[in-house]
């Protein structure tokens, strides 16, 4: 059974990577394959907070092994990293919901293209600005489709 944050052994005294306060190292050894959350925290800290390229993290992974052994953080900083990672995860979920919503809106507008062709001569159908916005959107959509096909075929 994998050790949890609460039952694993604490080792030597270390300095927190972020705030430089004294902390107890929770790392066992380089081959330790547990501490999945701590590994994710370290990778998250490096990749998304400190903007270290993934290629560099891959080098660290090859050279130093388990990310949970790369650096020590105190409990306060560990909580801060976890909260920030949770926020990032929630933001990604919300972003996906937003993207899905935009796609639904676009799909609806594109799907009504045929109907629009039929009623577009009717000036009472919508305000001039609404017709203009619709045309700009559809022209851009068609242009993007053509460019996309061109990219695939060239
Ligand atoms: Zn700290």
73 & 122 share domain: no
* For the chain, percent of residues with pLDDT exceeding 70: 77
CB–CB of 50/70 below 8 Å?
Answer: no
91 & 123 share domain: no
**pLDDT for 54-69, tens place per residue?**
999 999 999 999 998 8
Range of the domain at 123: 112-154
pLDDT at residue number 33: 54
Q: Tell me the CA–centroid distance for residue 3 and ligand 1, in Å.
A: 23
pLDDT at residue 52 is higher than 90? yes
Q: Tell me the CA–centroid distance for residue 80 and ligand 1, in Å.
A: 9
Q: Tell me the CA–centroid distance for residue 23 and ligand 1, in Å.
A: 8
Q: Where are the beta strands (DSSP E) in 62-154?
A: none
Q: Tell me the CA–centroid distance for residue 131 and ligand 1, in Å.
A: 57
17 & 62 share domain: yes
Domain membership flag for residue 105 = no
Residues in the 5 Å CB sphere of ion ligand 1: 16, 18-19, 74, 77
Q: Between 29 and 103, where is the model more confident?
A: 103
Q: Tell me the CA–centroid distance for residue 79 and ligand 1, in Å.
A: 9
DSSP one-letter string for 4-42: -TTTSPP-SEEE-TTT--EEE-----TT----HHHHHHH
Q: What is the mean pLDDT of residues 17-29?
A: 78
88 & 36 share domain: yes
Q: Tell me the CA–centroid distance for residue 32 and ligand 1, in Å.
A: 23
- CA–CA dist 35, 152 (Å, integer): 43
The alpha carbon of residue 99 and the mean position of all alpha carbons in its chain are separated, in whole angstroms, by 13
Q: Tell me the CA–centroid distance for residue 22 and ligand 1, in Å.
A: 8
Domain membership flag for residue 107 = no
Q: Between 76 and 126, where is the model more confident?
A: 76
- Domain total in the chain: 2
Name the phi and psi angles at 103, rounded to 5: -60, -40
- CA–CA dist 77, 49 (Å, integer): 13
Domain membership flag for residue 106 = no
Take residue 10 and report the two structure tokens written for it: 């604490």
Q: Tell me the CA–centroid distance for residue 87 and ligand 1, in Å.
A: 19
88 & 138 share domain: no
pLDDT at residue number 119: 62
Give the pairing of strands 22-24 and 13-15. Answer: antiparallel
pLDDT at residue number 48: 95
What is the DSSP secondary structure assignment for residue 49, as one 8-state letter? I
79 & 147 share domain: no
The alpha carbon of residue 124 and the mean position of all alpha carbons in its chain are separated, in whole angstroms, by 45
Q: Tell me the CA–centroid distance for residue 63 and ligand 1, in Å.
A: 25
79 & 20 share domain: yes
């Amino acid at each position: 059974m994998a050790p949890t944050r609460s039952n694993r052994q604490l080792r030597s005294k270390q300095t927190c990577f972020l705030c430089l306060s004294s902390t107890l190292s929770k790392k066992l050894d380089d081959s330790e394959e547990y501490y999945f959350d701590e590994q994710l925290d370290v990778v998250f800290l490096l990749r998304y907070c400190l903007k270290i390229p993934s290629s560099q993290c891959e080098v660290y992974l090859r050279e130093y092994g388990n990310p949970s052994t790369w650096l020590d953080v105190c409990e306060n900083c560990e909580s801060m990293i976890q909260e920030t990672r949770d926020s990032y995860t929630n933001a990604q979920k919300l972003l996906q919901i937003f993207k899905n919503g935009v796609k639904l809106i676009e799909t609806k507008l594109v799907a009504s293209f045929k109907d629009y062709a039929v009623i577009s001569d009717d000036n009472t159908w919508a305000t001039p600005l609404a017709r203009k916005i619709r045309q700009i959107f559809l022209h851009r959509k068609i242009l993007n489709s053509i460019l996309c096909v061109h990219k695939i075929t060239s």
